[in-house]
Amino acid sequence: MAATCSAVALQLLQRPALQPRRPRNAPCARRSVLCQAQMVPEEPEAQQHLDEGASSDDVPSSSSLHWEGLPITFSPHADLPPVLVQDWRAFRARLVAMESGQTARATSMQLGREERWAHVLTQPERGCLLVARPRPGLGMFQNTVILLLEHEDGEGSSGLVINMPTPLLISNLGLEEDIADAFRQCPLFIGGPVTKNLLHVLHARRDVEGALEILEGVYAGGVESASELVRRGDAAPQDFMLLSGYSGWGPWQLQQELRAGTWIPVAASQTVIMDCLKESLAWNPQPTNAMAGGAGGSARMAPNSEDVKRMCWQRVLWRAGIEPHTLGMH
């Protein structure tokens, strides 16, 4: 992946939409990338298995209980195993907390009180965060946090940087009128150096048509539908992060960079990811008018872009139990 980035292209004239390909071995349906277990429905033919003379009351119905805080649904049929009805990522995070001796935190997660969690992964996965490890020569990726949208070693990977703002406003990028009107006061973020003439959008709204669910509660794409929701007053412009370009890796390239220590793969809850997005957006205050920053239409930013990058980067590391100063230069 290139370590430098040229100026952001302003001619974003296409109706952009991020359409990452779905890995062939992904086990889940297209509507959701989470392997969430569903309640096993009772088969209509269940009555055929009744012993003669038995009533339907003798047949056990689907029922649930909890094991270690996890809801388990049982099927009335012996050949169907019980299934867990929970986000497996949250379950894994709780196991990680228990193994690391964080009993109180694990209990809080079990009771649903802990919404913000993160932990280091041994391998990257779709929906994880790639946190840049400080090192010379990293260029634009220094102190970045990337949301990995798709990953398959043999086919490549793609993601969006979620903490790289620019002083540019959407209103001055030459976009189609409907999109420009909806998001005119919104700052532009850089998602990466690849295909910078395409605009991508990240958000937490399931009512955006054309959006792809990256993990539960985090969506990418659907910029046209998002702009329509804003124009109708059904959504606020700040509900969406608009990004130019994306970050991409060829087959096995990301694994090579991980072995070189360039990235730290981190699993994080939806709340942690959205906190990072909201914090980045909040640190880019909208100007009082579209031209407040001058003829180029630049927004006035309280901190500079490096401050914004560093804050999100630090918070993700802290949440994952890593002290940023232990990683060297940053």
Buried b (16+ CB within 10 A) or exposed e, 229-255: bbeeeebebbbbbbbbbbbbbeeeebe
Dihedrals φ, ψ of 322, to 5°? Answer: -115, 130
**Residue 88: per-residue pLDDT:** 59
**Cβ atoms of 169 and 290 closer than 8 Å:** yes
CA–CA gap between residue 320 and residue 263 (Å, rounded): 14
Average pLDDT over residues 18-26: 38
Q: Which helix (H) or strand (E) is 230 found in, with range?
A: helix 223-232
Domain ranges of the chain: 61-110, 118-327
User: Could you read off the pLDDT of 159-184 as tens digits, one per residue?
Assistant: 999 999 998 889 888 888 899 999 99
**Residue 327: per-residue pLDDT:** 86
| Range in 53-57, 224-228, 251-255, 274-278 with the lowest mean pLDDT | 53-57
CA–CA gap between residue 28 and residue 36 (Å, rounded): 8
Bridging pattern class, strands 241-249 and 187-190: parallel
Task: Tell me the CA distances in angstroms from 171 to 9, 177, 203, 293, one per residue in order.
Answer: 14, 9, 19, 12
Q: Which residue has the higher pLDDT, 11 or 96?
A: 96
Position 2 pLDDT exceeds 70: no
User: Could you read off the pLDDT of 209-261 as tens digits, one per residue?
Assistant: 999 999 989 999 999 999 999 999 999 999 999 999 999 999 999 999 999 99
Dihedral, CA atoms, 108, 113, 117, 122, nearest 10 degrees?
50
Position 111 pLDDT exceeds 80: no
Look up residue 99 and give its amino acid. Answer: E
* Nearest residue to 108 (alpha-carbon basis) of 313, 269, 315: 269
Q: What is the mean pLDDT of the chain?
A: 72
For residue 106, list its beta bridge partners: none
**Cβ atoms of 188 and 155 closer than 8 Å:** no
Q: Residue 69 — pLDDT band, cuts 50, 70, 90?
A: very low
**Cβ atoms of 182 and 196 closer than 8 Å:** no
Q: Please tell me the total number of residues recorded for the chain in this structure.
A: 330
Record: fold of 118-327: VC0467-like (3.40.1740)
Q: Residue 92 — pLDDT band, cuts 50, 70, 90?
A: low
Q: Which two tokens stand for residue 225?
A: 């539908």
For residue 263, list its beta bridge partners: 132
SS (H, E, C) 58-110: HCCCCEEEEECCEEEEECCCCCCCCEECCCHHHHHHHHHHHHCCCHHHHHHHH
**Residue 238: per-residue pLDDT:** 92
Instruction: Return the residue matching tokens 């779709």.
Output: 126
Position 28 pLDDT exceeds 50: no
Average pLDDT over residues 131-157: 93
